[in-house]
Amino acid sequence: MTIDNTEGARAQIGVTGLAVMGSNIARNFARHGHTVALHNRSIAKTDALIAEHGSEGDFVRTETIEEFVGALQKPRRVLIMVKAGDPTDAVIEELAAAMEPGDIIIDGGNALYTDTIRREASLRERGLHFVGAGISGGEEGALNGPSIMPGGPKESYAALGPLLESIAAQVDGTPCCTHIGPDGSGHFVKMVHNGIEYADMQLIGEAYNLLGSALGYDAGKIADVFTEWNGGDLESYLVEITAEVLRQTDAKTGKPLVDVIVDAAEQKGTGRWTVKSALDLGVPVTGIAEAVFARALSGSRQQRKAAVGLASGVLADKPTDAAQFTEDIRQALYASKVVAYAQGFDQIAAGSAEYDWDLHPADLATIWRGGCIIRARFLNRIKDAYDENPTLPSLILAPYFRDAIETAIDSWRRVVSTATLLGIPVPAFASSLSYYDALRAERLPAALTQGQRDFFGAHTYERVDAEGKFHTLWSGDRSEVRA
């Protein structure tokens, strides 16, 4: 039903930015019994939403920002769903000028968390609450239940939480939405979520490539393998849709669709942001970084074209036991996935410490169980691991995952070595295994690095048998001095 805006301030929530995400979230609110004020820069999208879906609930049609703000109950709650970046700043400025202290502005776009920190600080000075909310699940999730990661002032969650929780995905009666922490924490966590998503997709891609290139399986047969895997520990949205994509036939050629799609992966930027932030925080998110670089390499089309035909060296024979190698790939995928999540959670811990956010990993695992792109059965295990030990040094050390990797390790090594001997690229499988081997090593070659740094730059080193810093007089008599 469309409510005449002359009826006064009666909407519980307003949504501005009615492209695919905003219109689906507005419909989700309305379907849950909330009256929703609608606004979009160009009125056409507002009218289209009302014409096509106006019967789904109570919508208030507005044209100007003043009219939009005037249609809202106090404290006013406005969700911005516009293109991230400058458009978000422009919309915030317009809204802030029309709103009053105590009102709440929520940015549900994919904002860079440092922008959210800046915006929150500036709006706080004006008495407004600003909530940077990561929203995952794509357009389908927005309509039927996303995973929502709202940051910002805790007080604002009292007025906002019940509304957001009502439209979020639910798992075992628990909404996939919780207050994450102050200022930019919601968008930070969403960014790392997307980084993990990149790693997960790359790992699935490597498994698909191995099944095709090492075992000669066609798309349909690989789809069957993924469907089977989805019945076990690997059960997840991404594995499920992988089978669907692989099973799709191209209407024009009759071939599997995947075989006619150009093999150059694009990216919108959240994976890159995750890696940049990890570099600043000094957290080795090797799986995520390999995934971002793998997309970049796939997109270097001219270079790749020029490099086709470069020497491969002598390649090994393909595996003869297809069932065993398929199981090896499944195990390698699972173990590498554990590493990707472990690294993502390490980054979240580092961000929490850097910005004093007091983030709770078990809460994140809980709200990622449904609605979002990385939803997976295995998030229950992550939640259990952090419930049991909230200060776990690494997810890999939780008993369940430690055992799972112990079961997978031989397969994992076979997959990485076989892929290498066959000349099949597996950057994420290989770097995850190297990360694991480095983490468990008693000694690393970093000792030599420290020696080199001291040699050319007098950067000093620590000793295994004494406290303090030391320097060797490399260009003198090579005796050691305390620094």
Residues designated catalytic: 190, 197
Of 82 and 275, which has the nearer Cβ to ligand NBP?
Answer: 82
Among the listed residues 82, 214, 359, 392, the single contact to ligand NBP using CB under 6 A: 82
Strands of the 104-107 sheet, one edge to the other: 2-3, 59-61, 36-39, 13-16, 77-80, 104-107, 129-136, 147-150
Task: Specify the residue, 3 or 43, whose C-beta has the smaller distance to ligand NBP.
Answer: 43
Instruction: For tokens 């690095």, name the residue.
Output: 449
Q: Which is nearer to ligand NBP, 18 or 72 (CB)?
A: 18
Question: Per CB under 6 A, which of residues 131..160 are in contact with ligand NBP?
Answer: 135, 138-139
- Minimum Å gap between C-beta 63 and ligand NBP is 12
Amino acid making up residue 61: R
Burial class (CB in 10 A: 0-12, 13-18, 19+), 8: exposed
Amino acid letter at 410? D
Which window, 79-87, 315-323, 399-407, 418-426, contacts ligand NBP (CB under 6 A)?
79-87
Q: Report the distance separating Cα 102 and Cα 104, nearest Å.
A: 7
90 scored as a contact of ligand NBP (CB under 6 A): yes
**DSSP code, position 236:** B
Q: With binding defined as CB under 6 A, does residue 87 bind ligand NBP? A: yes
User: Which among 476, 474, 472, 473 has a CA at the least distance from the CA of 462?
Assistant: 472
Q: Which residues pair with 15 in a beta bridge?
A: 38, 79
Choices 75-83, 276-284, 415-423, 460-468; region in contact with ligand NBP by CB under 6 A: 75-83
Binds ligand NBP (CB under 6 A): choice among 27, 45, 61, 330: 45
Among 28, 35, 62, 110, binds ligand NBP (CB under 6 A): 110
Residue of the chain from 91, 163, 203, 211 that contacts ligand NBP (CB under 6 A): 91
Name beta bridge partners: 61: 38
**Piece in contact with ligand NBP (CB under 6 A), picked from 76-84, 171-179, 318-326, 457-465:** 76-84
One-letter amino acid at 17 equals G
User: Which of 57, 28, 230 is closest to 141 using CA atoms?
Assistant: 28
Q: Is 83 in the site for ligand NBP (CB under 6 A)?
A: yes
Q: Does 104 bind ligand NBP (CB under 6 A)?
A: no
Q: Could you tell me how many residues of this chain bind ligand NBP (CB under 6 A)?
A: 22
Closest residue to ligand NBP, based on beta-carbon distance? 109
Mask: binding to ligand NBP, 1-40, rule CB under 6 A, as x and -? ----------------xxxxxx-----------------x
Based on the shown chain and the rule CB under 6 A, indicate whether residue 261 belongs to the binding site for ligand NBP: no
- Minimum distance, C-beta of residue 110 to ligand NBP, in the bound complex (Å): 3
Structure tokens at 47: 């009218």
Closest contact distance (angstroms) between CB of 68 and ligand NBP is 12
Residue from 42, 302, 303, 312 touching ligand NBP (CB under 6 A): that is 42
What is the number of other CB atoms lying within 10 angstroms of the CB of residue 34?
A: 18
User: Considering beta carbons, is residue 80 or 385 the nearer one to ligand NBP?
Assistant: 80
Closest distance to ligand NBP from the beta carbon of 386 (Å): 25
Does residue 62 interact with ligand NBP by CB under 6 A? no
Backbone angles phi, psi at 369, to 5 degrees: -75, -20
Instruction: Give me the residue label for tokens 């554990």.
Output: 338
Instruction: Return the number of the residue (68 or 325) whose C-beta is nearest ligand NBP.
Output: 68
Confirm or reject binding of residue 97 to ligand NBP (CB under 6 A): no
Question: Each residue of 254-284: b (16+ CB within 10 Å) or e?
Answer: eebbbeeeeeebeeeebbbbbbebbeeeebb
Structure letter (DSSP) for residue 319? P
Three-state SS annotation for 101-139 = CCCEEEECCCCCHHHHHHHHHHHHHCCCEEEEEEEECHH
Residues that bind ligand NBP (CB under 6 A): 17-22, 40-42, 45, 81-84, 87, 90-91, 109-110, 135, 138-139
